[in-house]
């Protein structure tokens, strides 16, 4: 079983201007994340725009990340689709390609009952032989994966953890309290990573790692070394950039910011994209005032 712990980068999927996948930049970002000390790479999550990619594109992304990573850190592949059959098909493909862990989000749009969710996740887990991490994000899926349901699922042999993006820290505490010690509870909210670790969780899957990967990785490493004060300083340092996510679609804001700091990850797929100059100016201001990063918001672009 893969050791599920630490800071896992919720990787962006780089795009060209025509919205095709920028494979060269995807491989470059994979290298950048590993070099910055990430403990794992998560492709095809919310930040990776899995909802906007075709199945063949998802398979290409997984294959490129696995190939470039070459076993240096675990690769988590997002496989959650609306139907169980689609999810199983993509999960099996990811396993064949060489992904180390599967991340499976709750089916979305049509709201499933807790029993339906239980059966969905169990069928996916039974179809593969690698660890499965549940992905709870009620704001996007319209359904919250209850603590009791997670408790039932945690008893399955290869359902090894959960990424909880509810933003509800009490729920994270309950997940930790109601699952075994070897079940990995990961924060999907970057602001709660340190507190999740303190409570007994195993780390976080983080979108801000696309912007400040060394900072995010250091939260875990400093905490592991017993340097709580320094770990808290690193955790607190992302607050200003996190506030920017409220100004628009968080995926858009992260990609805009990444481009502005010199990472040519391109646009999000429309309609989830904007180049509103007011947003660019505000991001530029925050980068300068809080992080000492000077960018010219009037002269920016991407490959």
Instruction: Just list the catalytic residues.
Output: 135, 163
Our CA angle for 105, 65, 82, nearest 5°, is 20
What is residue 204's three-state secondary structure? Answer: strand
Name the nearest CA neighbour of 266 among 10, 3, 13, 11: 13
In contact, 215 and 234? CB cutoff 8 Å: yes
Q: Note every long-range contact of 86-93, with CB atoms under 8 Å and residues 24 or more positions apart, other chains counting.
A: 86/55, 87/120, 87/124, 88/123, 88/124, 88/127, 89/55, 90/55, 90/58, 90/59, 91/124, 91/127, 91/128, 91/132, 92/127, 92/128, 93/59, 93/62
DSSP 47-88: TTTGGGS-HHHHHHHHHHHHHHHTTSS-EEEE---SSHHHHH
In contact, 138 and 112? CB cutoff 8 Å: no
Could you say which DSSP state residue 185 is in? E
Q: Give CA–CA dist 275/259, Å, rounded.
A: 11
The tokens describing 217, both together, are 């990785």
Q: How many CB atoms lie within 10 A of CB 116?
A: 15
The tokens describing 181, both together, are 């010690």
Name the nearest CA neighbour of 38 among 270, 218, 194, 191: 218
In contact, 15 and 22? CB cutoff 8 Å: yes
């Amino acid at each position: 079983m893969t050791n599920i712990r630490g800071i896992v980068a919720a990787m962006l999927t780089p795009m060209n201007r025509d919205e095709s996948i920028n494979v060269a930049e995807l491989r470059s970002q994979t290298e950048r994340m590993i070099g910055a000390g990430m403990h794992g790479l998560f492709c095809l999550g919310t930040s990776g725009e899995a909802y906007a990619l075709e199945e063949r594109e998802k398979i290409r992304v997984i294959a490129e990340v696995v190939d470039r990573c070459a076993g240096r850190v675990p690769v988590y592949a997002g496989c959650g689709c609306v139907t169980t059959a689609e999810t199983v098909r993509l999960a099996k493909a990811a396993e064949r390609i060489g992904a180390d862990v599967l991340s499976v989000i709750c089916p979305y749009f049509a709201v499933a009952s807790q029993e339906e969710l239980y059966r969905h996740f169990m069928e996916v887990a039974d179809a593969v032989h690698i660890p499965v991490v549940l992905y709870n994000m009620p704001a996007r899926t319209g359904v919250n994966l209850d603590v009791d349901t997670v408790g039932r699922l945690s008893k399955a042999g290869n359902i090894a953890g959960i990424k909880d993006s509810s933003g509800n820290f009490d729920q994270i505490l309950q997940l930790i309290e109601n699952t075994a010690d070897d079940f990995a509870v990961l924060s999907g909210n970057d602001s709660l990573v340190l507190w999740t670790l303190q409570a007994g969780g195993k780390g976080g899957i983080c979108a801000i790692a696309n912007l400040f990967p060394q900072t995010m990785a250091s939260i875990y490493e400093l905490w592991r070394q017993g340097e709580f004060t320094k770990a808290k300083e690193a955790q607190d340092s992302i607050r200003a950039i996190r506030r920017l996510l409220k100004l628009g679609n968080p995926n858009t804001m992260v990609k805009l910011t990444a481009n502005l700091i010199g990472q040519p990850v391109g646009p999000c797929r429309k309609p989830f994209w904007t180049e509103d100059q007011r947003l660019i100016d505000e991001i530029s201001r925050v980068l300068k005032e809080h992080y000492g990063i000077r960018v010219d918001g009037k002269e920016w672009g991407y490959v």
